[in-house]
Amino acid sequence: MQRLAGKVAIVTGAGSGIGKSIAERLGCEGAKVVVDYIGDPKGAEDTQRAIEKAGGEGEIFQADVTSSADVRKLVEETWNHFGTADILVNNAGMEHKAAFWDTTEADYDKVLDVNLRGPYFLTQAFVQWLRAVNKPGRIINISSVHEDMAFPGFSTYCCSKGGLRMLMRDLAVELGPLGITVNNIAPGAIATPINTALLNDKEKLNALLKKIPLGRLGTPEDVAGMVVFLASDEAAYVTGSTFVIDGGLMRNYHEQ
C-alpha cells in the first residue's frame, strides 16, 4: 500500500545523498515530488528518473535555498504545478571544516545561510500558502546528531544545526494550531558526498566505525524510511521531536 498517495512533497537538495534517497522513497509511496537542486542538474534528473521508474511523478526545480526570492518561487511553482504542497523536507545542507579561530565571516555566512536561513524562509513560504487555504502540513528537517553533540572543527555547522533544533521546537508550538507538524531527523555518519573526505581517509573512517555500536555507516535509505513515517498518517500526533538515526553513536560513551 502506498502511504502518501495524493500528497505533494518538496525536497531540497534532492539531487544527491540523503535528499535523493528521500525524494525517491516519497515517490515510491505515491507522493508527487518536487526535486529541488542547485548547480549541475544531472543528479536531480537521476532522482526524477528513479521516481518515474517506481511509477511516481517527480518535477525538477532549481532553487537556491539561501535566496528568499528562490524559495518563494519554489513554493509558488509547486502550487501552480500540482495545486498543493503538503510535505516539506528541508534537507539541503553543507559543512565547512575550520578551527574556530580560523573561521571567516564568509564561512560562517555560507553555512548558516544554507543550513538555517534556508529552512527558515522556505518553511515560512510553505506555511503561508497552507495557512491561506487552511490546510494541514508536515515539515521535516534533516538536522544532525550535531544539533546536540559537539563537533570540533565544525563550529558553524553546530551553530546551524542547534538553531535548526530550536526552530523546530518553536514551530511545533506555533504551527500546531494550524495542523502543521514539525520534526527533525538527526542522522549520524551517513555515507554521502558530504562525507567524501572522511570516506577517503581509512584511518579516520575506522576510528569512527569503532564508535558506532551498530558497526557501520548509515545509508541514505536508513534516513528516508523515517521521513516516510513522519510524512504519513501514522505520525499524525508526532510533533516537536528529533529522531536520531546514528547506529547508536550519540549514546556511545564508555570507559573501555
- Find the part of the chain contacting ligand BGC (CB under 6 A) among 69-77, 81-89, 141-149, 174-182: 141-149
By the rule CB under 6 A, 245 interacts with ligand BGC: no
Which residues are within 8 A (CB) of 152 and not within 5 positions of it... i.e. 6 or more apart? none
By the rule CB under 6 A, 50 interacts with ligand BGC: no
Contacts 24+ apart (CB under 8 A), 105-109: 107/156, 108/156, 108/159
Number of alpha carbons in the 13 Å side-chain half-sphere of residue 53: 9
- Taking each helix axis from N to C end, the angle separating 17-28 and 220-231, rounded to the nearest 10 degrees, works out to 50
71: left (phi over 0), alpha (psi -120 to 50) or beta: alpha
Q: How many residues bind ligand BGC (CB under 6 A)?
A: 10
Site residues for ligand BGC, 92-111, by CB under 6 A, read 95
- Letters for 149-168 (x = contact with ligand BGC by CB under 6 A, - = none) are --x-----------------
By the rule CB under 6 A, 194 interacts with ligand BGC: yes
* Catalytic residue ranges: 157
Nearest approach, Cβ of residue 28 and ligand BGC (Å): 25
Sign of dihedral through CA atoms 190, 226, 46, 62?
Answer: negative
C-alpha cell at 66: 539561501
- Find the part of the chain contacting ligand BGC (CB under 6 A) among 26-34, 73-81, 140-148, 235-243: 140-148
The residues that touch ligand BGC, with contacts defined as CB under 6 A, are 95, 144-146, 151, 188-189, 194-195, 198
